[in-house]
Homo-oligomer: A and B are copies of this chain.
Amino acid sequence: MGFHFKIIAKDRETGARLGEMTTLHGKVQTPAFMPVGTQGTVKGLLPETMAGLGVEIVLGNTYHLYLRPGHELIGRLGGLHRFMNWNRPILTDSGGYQVYSLGALRKITDEGVLFQSHIDGTRCFITPADAVRIQETLGSDIMMCLDECTPYPVLSEYAEKSLELTLRWAARSRESRRSGTGQALFGIIQGGVFPSLRKKSLEETVAIGFDGYALGGLSVGEPKEDMYGIVSGFGRKMPEDHPRYLMGVGLPEDIVACVGDGMDLFDCVIPTRCARNGLLFTNTGKVVIKNAIYREDDGPVDPLCDCYTCRNYSRAYLRHLYTAGEVLAVILNTIHNVRYYMSLMEKIRLSIRNGSYGQFRREFPVRSGEPPDCETAGRDEPPDKRR
């Protein structure tokens, strides 16, 4: 019936699992990282390039595609896969996080969300059933329920009301989905940083019954220990036989930590956005490519990387392209960062298979407790921050 998940191996020491998701558009080895393709393209990459980097699944943003070019247009043209020429799996979010990010431009009621387009100010109203219908029209392989993303900091009373709303919406999403499409629908567990609320949200979301479960509302500003606390406290309690998706996370060290707590799926704009801002991930730490020390550096960004960029270009050339504002800087930097992430996921999966993930996790360097400073470079972008 389209969607299936199986566990292939479990790590001896940690909660890490090696798995395989089968979707309408093929299989995904997990743990997997999904590059973000906000507007029907992962910025700067051709689909064939993504496949060559090892990308098996991308995330599409329902909010953006709903507003422009419109889900119905995409549906009439054969769906999102055909529109963007990507024939592998796609997960679409519900738009809930983007709407939440709009702040004063949105109003949330029991019926759904009222918001104004960031593009032209048009007023839009979306119910949980609408969000499912939009994603069905886009034709994504994995759909997400509309949820209210609990902000941080927040009072427990608000967080509880919010999660109850998300639960009601989850039930309506489940009811409204069309049968027989083969598309998966994932529920989202909210509850902020409050363990009792997370527990309630987990139990009741599972009671509704979905093809997979996500931890939402993390990486929204809470201290990193709190995020780790929720993931380590609840990751392994999420249903064993379904994929577990940690939304909007994150840095390489976050992924390594949370795989150990049983998480299978990740997405984040960090590799692609940082690439556009000249911040490159390497096996020996981060490289800020505009730095003058790279002016005459003839070596590759990362001597341990097998990507096209590292095999063919010097740091000096990448610095020149970035400084000169060249489009090729975006392309080459994004190729490198996405390959870094895909290579990391390959190492993670290999370690789990070998039963040595505990050691891998202990030895993985934590470069910094803070997210890299790559979201501040003033790009003129629509709100595509991911939680």
Asked whether any CB of chain B lies closer than 8 Å to the CB of A194, the reply is no
Nearest to A316 among chain B residues (CB) is B77
Residues in A311-326 with C-beta less than 8 Å from chain B: 312-314, 316-317, 319-321, 323-326
Expressed in whole angstroms, the minimum distance between the Cβ of A378 and any Cβ of chain B is 14
Q: Mark A84-96, 1 if CB is under 8 A from B, else 0.
A: 1100000000000
Nearest to A324 among chain B residues (CB) is B39
Select the residue from A41, A44, A76, A298 with max chain B CB neighbours within 10 A: A41
Expressed in whole angstroms, the minimum distance between the Cβ of A6 and any Cβ of chain B is 33
Asked whether any CB of chain B lies closer than 8 Å to the CB of A139, the reply is no
Expressed in whole angstroms, the minimum distance between the Cβ of A318 and any Cβ of chain B is 11
Asked whether any CB of chain B lies closer than 8 Å to the CB of A210, the reply is no
Say yes or no: A296-B41 contact (C-beta < 8 A), given A69-B320, A323-B68, A324-B68: no
**B320 contacts A68, C-beta separation under 8 Å:** yes
Asked whether any CB of chain B lies closer than 8 Å to the CB of A43, the reply is yes
User: How many monomers of this protein are in the complex?
Assistant: 2
Asked whether any CB of chain B lies closer than 8 Å to the CB of A295, the reply is yes
**B330 contacts A327, C-beta separation under 8 Å:** yes
Say yes or no: A328-B43 contact (C-beta < 8 A), given A85-B312, A298-B77, A317-B83: yes
Q: Mark A18-59, 1 if CB is under 8 A from B, else 0.
A: 000000000000000000000111011110000000000000
Asked whether any CB of chain B lies closer than 8 Å to the CB of A126, the reply is no
**A43 contacts B83, C-beta separation under 8 Å:** no
Say yes or no: A326-B77 contact (C-beta < 8 A), given A313-B85, A317-B84, A320-B69: no
Question: Which B residues touch A328, using CB under 8 A?
Answer: 41, 43-46
Q: Which of B77, B298, B313, B325 contacts A314 (CB 8 A)?
A: B77
Question: Which B residues touch A84, using CB under 8 A?
Answer: 317
Q: How far is the CA of A321 from the CA of B295 in the complex (A)?
A: 33
Asked whether any CB of chain B lies closer than 8 Å to the CB of A73, the reply is yes
Q: Which of B43, B314, B321 contacts A41 (CB 8 A)?
A: B321
Q: How far is the CA of A178 from the CA of B317 in the complex (A)?
A: 27
Asked whether any CB of chain B lies closer than 8 Å to the CB of A287, the reply is no
Asked whether any CB of chain B lies closer than 8 Å to the CB of A305, the reply is no
Residues on A facing B (Cβ under 8 Å): 39-41, 43-46, 68-69, 73, 76-78, 83-85, 295-296, 298, 312-314, 316-317, 319-321, 323-328, 330-331, 380
A-B contact list, 18 entries, CB within 8 Å: A40-B324, A41-B327, A41-B328, A43-B326, A43-B327, A44-B328, A45-B328, A46-B331, A68-B320, A69-B319, A73-B296, A73-B316, A76-B296, A77-B298, A84-B317, A85-B317, A327-B327, A327-B331
